[in-house]
Chain A
Amino acid sequence: MIQEVVWGVSIVLMGTLAAVFAWVAIGANVALADYRPVIASAYRLRTWLFGLAVIVLIAANYDTLGKLPYVSSMSASSSATATLPVEAVAEQWSWNIKPDAFRVGQTVEFHVTSTDVNHGFALYDPDMRIVAQTQAMPGYINVLRYTFNEPGVYRVLCLEYCGVGHHEMTAEIKVAAH
């Protein structure tokens, strides 16, 4: 799952940065007689790091910007898949989701909106991990497309703070194996 990959990569990068800061801090007490060659090589290193950063930036953005969750951005071929429209209306503090039972392999399009304040439509899989989300806004319908690949009981949690009932605003979606 993306979250786990992101967590792993983040820990490695954060840990590396922390180690660099610690290493510099620990070795700092011993002064260097002539600082200038160090500065020169530091700037050379920075140019390399900048180049590396630009490569990573371009690669990561090229890859991820090809996978936008916005239906309007989706290619014609994926739009041709048969999708089932689903109404998902948020209000303080409950969900109205029609229909709320599907089969594995079905692609649904949640039409998400709100009757009052901002809410957040977050679809959690049977392992309680987010698999898709969008905002539920008054005056707007946000279209969230999702294909159910696993059977089980999914949950919808509200993910935009909406008042005292925010944490109780959940709904169930049942996905049958066939």
Chain B
Amino acid sequence: MTVEAVQSRSGISPRAAVLAYIVVSGLVLLLMMLLGLTMRLAQAQWIDIQPDFFYMIMTMHGAGMVGIAGLSGAAVMWYFVRRHVPVSTAVFVANLVFFLIGAALILGSGFIGGFAAAWTFLFPLPAHSGELWSVNAAACYMVGLLFIGVGFLLLHLDIARGILVVYGGLGAALGVKQAFGLAPEDEGPPPAVTASTMVLIVNILGILLGAAVLVVSLVNLYVPSFTFNALLAKNMIYFFGHVFINATIYMAVIAVYEILPVFTHRKWKTNRAFYFAWVLSTVMVLTVYPHHLLMDFAMPTWALVAGQLISWLSGLPVLLVTAFGALTNVYRSGIKWTVASGLVFVGVAGWAIGVIPAIADGTIEVNSFMHNTQWVPGHFHTYLLLGMVAMFFGFMTYIVPKTTGALLPFGFWLYVGGGSIFVLSFLAAGSVSVPRRYAVHLPEWLPYDRVASVGATLAVLGALIMVLNFVIGLPSATREEADA
């Protein structure tokens, strides 16, 4: 089946657009990592910054990382799904423009306006700054997030349009019939299409609810008498946040499905278990969000119990389908490891390994002791730094046709080694009840912060090397004929 890519009215080629996404993602990732490193150095008391500055960069780091995880994941997803369905380069570029506008507004709200309500903007905190930021700064942040959300909404809708043209329905594109044994496995959609379908279903819902609570928050900022139930707002925020950040991993894993087989010379098996895992994940990503609310005793108990049970179930597709699939794909394949293939393999490992602390914290009895300790960032940095971002870096390194020498593997090991030290420090600190999101730490917590700072520094250096490798290789990458 031939697929005609919609010609971009802007004259930007699809490949150039993807490269632009990667450059922006790489640079913003580095900037956000530097903000994160600054936070850890401050907690370690190796540098001295004011608490209001700490909480502002904490807010910027959270928003920036979530946003860039979305952008970089979208680059991976779009690059591969357009081999199978017609998509609009103009819409893809528009998403980037919306993102940059939103990012500028968010950075302005923080660095100029002092907005520091954490990226989760938990209602009604943005309106209770304690004189630290103005209502306008808070509004600027929210409008920035809305811009980013609108961009992604457009992108997902455009991909949905393309998928519907080719597959006729979202169920067919998800492989629902294959999942339930009602159609032959080898007639199922390619992995990139299945993954993109799952992501657009969950993200359209997540973004809409996120946008709704942002608008509610915006009105409340300027009309304080317009109040909103804080528990309902919390539910909407965590539904949006959970769905959006998980979707970034489900977008990035497409890189694993597409890149690993190139190096192992073994096709990724899209069998009934594969499709079933994706159908299950679609449902579970949408329904597990109460695991962010386990200490909200005001919630109905059944919802919190469901949050625990679905958290546990969610580990099964990741471990027994994706991780298992990657391991069997690589096992005795004769692969000659490169940094690109190594990174996507690490990405699967990071995701699988991160399941353990995630499920632990998703258990109510454990959550009582570990909620909002550093166990929480320990878990999600394992998923993101060693999972999603590693997959993205693998894609980034794969796209550049020539690597630039021996420094690149060194960068890989710095990133993986430093990243491991960094996440383990978070988890260790959480196990001794060090709180998360504290600008000032007690003396007994400093050793954890100091080990973490060393790990983070190594990871930042590794990331810098890998991003530089891409940027240096960019001129030859743009000269390559479009291969997608």
Contacts and interface: CB of A to CB of B under 8 A. Distances in A.
Is A bound to B? yes
Contacts of A53: 315-316, 319-320
B424 to A, nearest CB: 8
A73 B301 contact: yes
Contacts of B432: 3, 128-129
Chain A binding surface SS class:
mixed
Contact of A164 (B116, B308, B315): B116
A57 to B, nearest CB: 5
B352 interface: yes
Interface stretch (B147-155, B176-184, B434-442): B434-442
B451 to A, nearest CB: 15
Interface residues of B, number: 78
Contacts of A129: 369, 432-433
Chain B binding surface SS class:
helix
Q: Determine the interface band of chain A, counting residues with CB < 8 A from chain B.
A: 35 or more
Contacts of B435: 122, 157, 159, 167
A24 interface: yes
A13 to B, nearest CB: 5
A166 B360 contact: no
B45 interface: no
Contact of B309 (A7, A27, A39, A61): A61
Contacts of B324: 42, 46, 49
B234 interface: yes
Interface in A26-49: 27-32, 35, 38-39, 42, 46, 49
A83 to B, nearest CB: 15
B130 to A, nearest CB: 5
Interface stretch (B99-107, B291-299, B403-411): B291-299
A163 B335 contact: no
B364 A140 contact: no
Contacts of A57: 312-313
Interface string B277-320: 00000000000000000011110010011001100110110011
A165 B334 contact: no
Contacts of B337: 25, 28-29
Contacts of A117: 122, 124-125, 128
A24 to B, nearest CB: 5
A64 B365 contact: yes
A107 to B, nearest CB: 16
B363 interface: yes
A17 B353 contact: yes
B22 interface: no
Contact of A143 (B297, B428, B442): B297
Contacts of B124: 116-117, 138
B301 A68 contact: yes
Given A65-B308, A69-B364, A159 B371 contact: yes
Interface in B121-139: 122, 124-125, 128-130, 132
B370 A6 contact: yes
Contacts of A162: 125
B282 to A, nearest CB: 20
B353 A137 contact: no
B369 A3 contact: yes
Contacts of A4: 431
B261 interface: no
A133 B371 contact: yes
A134 B369 CA distance: 10
B336 A29 contact: yes
Interface of A: 1-4, 6-7, 9-10, 13-14, 17-18, 20-21, 24-25, 27-32, 35, 38-39, 42, 46, 49-50, 53, 57, 60-61, 64-65, 67-73, 92-93, 116-118, 120, 122, 124, 128-135, 137-140, 142-144, 157, 159-168
Given A7-B427, A64-B308, A138-B230, 19 more contacts: A3-B432, A10-B427, A17-B349, A25-B345, A31-B334, A53-B319, A69-B364, A70-B297, A92-B128, A93-B130, A129-B433, A130-B369, A137-B231, A157-B435, A159-B372, A162-B125, A163-B128, A164-B116, A166-B437
9 contacts: A4-B431, A10-B356, A17-B323, A53-B315, A69-B368, A116-B124, A130-B370, A134-B296, A140-B298
